[in-house]
Amino acid sequence: MSVKSNIDPRNQKLDAFLNDLASSKPAPGGGSAAAVAGALGAALSSMVANLTLGKEKYKEVEGAFETILEKAEKLRNEFLRAIGEDIEAYNEVMDAYGLPKNTEEEKERRREAIQSALKGATEPPFKMAELADEVLELSKECALSGNSHAVTDAGASAILAEATVRTALLNVDINLSSISDSSFVEEKRRKRKDLSQKARRRAEEVVEIMDGKI
């Protein structure tokens, strides 16, 4: 059964979104929470950029921080769009499981639809993890060269971005566990491992920079 949802966090109050998240509805769930964490991380990089721009002390990096601000704002909006994409992917899986299975032909059609939907459901969380990797790049620049009074915000941006990667990839794990295509599973598990390790390493680098400045 599909989870019919018109959730758009850009038009929803925070408490309403959290009430939906806390309810017995299967969506929004962990994937949506991961995307919101990513959006928060991107917003914090924007904050550091805004606190750096226009300051005489940081005039030499003004051009770089204009670019950081532009990228961070784009990422923030992409994370919010990813919530809808994640819910739609979930709906596809539920619709596939709901297909009839009375005959052998129907069972085979259902099996193929489920496998296809499960593969598709790995894409939104991978996208979130890749977006979060971009946030980690920005947060490092913010920690290194941004307004020193906001260095902890750069650290928080990195921590939230890593949390996005780790949380989103849990959805990859649950879908891969039901996919029978071994070559697909092996490829995605490699990708999952690479993204996870890179995110941990980058977040640690940002926290180390932050710790050196406070």
CB 66 within 8 A of CB 88: no
- What DSSP assignment string belongs to 5-24? ----GGGS-HHHHHHHHHSS
**pLDDT tens profile 101-143:** 999 999 999 999 999 999 999 999 999 999 999 999 999 999 9
Domain ranges of the chain: 29-211
Residue 175 in this model has a pLDDT that exceeds 60: yes
pTM tops 0.75: yes
Residue 162 in this model has a pLDDT that exceeds 90: yes
**Alpha-carbon dihedral angle through residues 131, 167, 122, 196, given to the nearest 10 degrees:** 70
Taking residues 70-88, report their average pLDDT: 95
Q: With bands split at pLDDT 50, 70 and 90, how would you rate the model's confidence at 28?
A: confident
Residue 1 in this model has a pLDDT that exceeds 50: no
Fold of 29-211: Four Helix Bundle (Hemerythrin (Met), subunit A) (1.20.120)
